[in-house]
Amino acid sequence: MNTELIKLSAACGRDIYDMLQSIPADENGLMNDAHGLSYDEYKAWLEKRYAESLKTEVYDGFKVPQTFFFFYVDSCPVGLVKIRHFLTDRLRQDGGNMGYAIRPEARGKGYGKLMLSAALKECAKLGIDKALVTIHEGNTASVKIALANGGIMEKRENGNLFIWMDCHSNRGNIFYDTSDLSDGEIMLRVSRMTDAIPEKKFVPAYKFDICLMNGMAIGVCDLRIGHTEGLYIGGNIGYGIDENFRGRHYAAKACKLLFRLAQKHNLGHVFITCVPDNAASYKTMEYAGCRYVGMAMIHEDDEMYKEGKRLVKIYRKDLD
């Protein structure tokens, strides 16, 4: 049996459409608003849902960015899961990080457990340390799926069970091989990989030495995995080039290699930021193909604020 979790995109076709029509519009709290749409309406729905996955903050008053995934077994879609990138107080009371469903004709075969296991890996890539699901008490199948993936029930409240799952207990589920990060002129040599530290709002990260092909280190860079409010200000990517090697676009070339790694993590896009007077840095971002998004205020509890910085210029690179 071959299984795969596919991220929603505009290219999703008739097979996904048919599956979404088979899953009820509202079943045990899982809202499937694609049910009942015409095929043309479904294609517009895909565009809308994809756009929502690119957001980084709360929008429309209470909504958070979420990404849809579709679970395939032997090339046939059998389920859907939506991952909300972070929790609000409202989602902690009802909704949690994830909602999921298996199409009716594929239930009772163990697919839900496999799908949720794959979804937890995607949560880890988004920087989610522990994922919350809130499940109606009567939905025993969904409860069994969560518990089978290491879920711990926190409480029962208002007819719901609150179950938490560890998203990245296995380091191998988060980090990828980086030996291919070379363009023939420079290569990235991993120096450290760090796990998420939820209490500090740190996401998983790679740290690299930027090296010439002879192995000589000429700078450093890092890639932070996820999309959080903090990363919108601090960026997914940081870099620095030793003074004797500046002016040769090595930082931009390192960024382009990091874009490849970010794609493996299905990030979709990355942010890179700098203070407004750092002309060399934003020229690097432009050379790397990033587009200017705007300026943002640095939060008072941010380390950069404590260093006396107040504003950042934000650049974005779309990877899809």
All structural domains of the chain with their residue ranges: 3-171, 175-318
Q: Using an 8 Å Cβ cutoff, are 101 and 32 in contact?
A: yes
Distance separating alpha carbons of residues 112 and 23, to the nearest angstrom = 14
The reported pLDDT for the residue numbered 316 is 96
The token pair that represents 257 in the structure block: 């290699």
Q: How many CA atoms lie within 13 A of 276 on its CB side?
A: 8
Write the CA distances from 151 to 66, 129, 143, 258, integer angstroms: 21, 13, 9, 33
Band (pLDDT 50/70/90 cuts) for residue 206 is very high
Band (pLDDT 50/70/90 cuts) for residue 73 is very high
The reported pLDDT for the residue numbered 172 is 41
CB under 8 Å to 292, separation ≥6 — which residues?
282, 286, 313, 314, 315
The reported pLDDT for the residue numbered 28 is 87
Identify which of 163, 247, 230, 221 has the alpha carbon closest to the alpha carbon of residue 196: 230
Residue found by looking up tokens 């895909």 in the block: 46
| Fold match, 3-171 / 175-318 | yes
Band (pLDDT 50/70/90 cuts) for residue 246 is very high
Helix (H, G, I), strand (E, B) or coil at 292: strand
Band (pLDDT 50/70/90 cuts) for residue 119 is very high
CB under 8 Å to 16, separation ≥6 — which residues?
70, 77
Residue found by looking up tokens 């926190």 in the block: 154
Helices and strands (H and E) in the chain: how many: 9, 16
Hey, what's the torsion of the CAs at 2, 135, 7, 195, to 10 degrees?
Answer: -90
Superfamily of structural domain 3-171: Gcn5-related N-acetyltransferase (GNAT) (3.40.630.30)
Band (pLDDT 50/70/90 cuts) for residue 224 is very high
Identify which of 22, 44, 48 has the alpha carbon closest to the alpha carbon of residue 35: 22
Q: Per-residue pLDDT tens for 254-267?
A: 999 999 999 988 78
Distance separating alpha carbons of residues 77 and 81, to the nearest angstrom = 12
Distance separating alpha carbons of residues 250 and 219, to the nearest angstrom = 9
User: What are the helix (H) ranges across the chain?
Assistant: 14-22, 39-53, 89-93, 111-125, 140-148, 229-234, 250-264, 279-287, 303-306
Q: Per-residue pLDDT tens for 153-199?
A: 888 888 899 999 988 654 444 678 788 899 999 999 988 888 777 66
The reported pLDDT for the residue numbered 284 is 96
Superfamily of structural domain 175-318: Gcn5-related N-acetyltransferase (GNAT) (3.40.630.30)
pTM: 0.56
Distance separating alpha carbons of residues 228 and 20, to the nearest angstrom = 29
Positive or negative, the CA dihedral 187, 189, 195, 198 is: negative
The reported pLDDT for the residue numbered 170 is 44
Q: Per-residue pLDDT tens for 74-105?
A: 999 999 999 999 999 999 999 999 999 999 99
Mean pLDDT computed over every residue of the chain: 91
The token pair that represents 144 in the structure block: 């069994």
CB under 8 Å to 74, separation ≥6 — which residues?
1, 2
Q: What are phi and psi of 181, to 5 degrees?
A: -85, 80
CB under 8 Å to 144, separation ≥6 — which residues?
none
Residue 70, number of CB atoms within 10 A of its CB: 21
Asked whether residue 2 carries a pLDDT value surpassing 50, the answer given is: yes
The reported pLDDT for the residue numbered 174 is 63
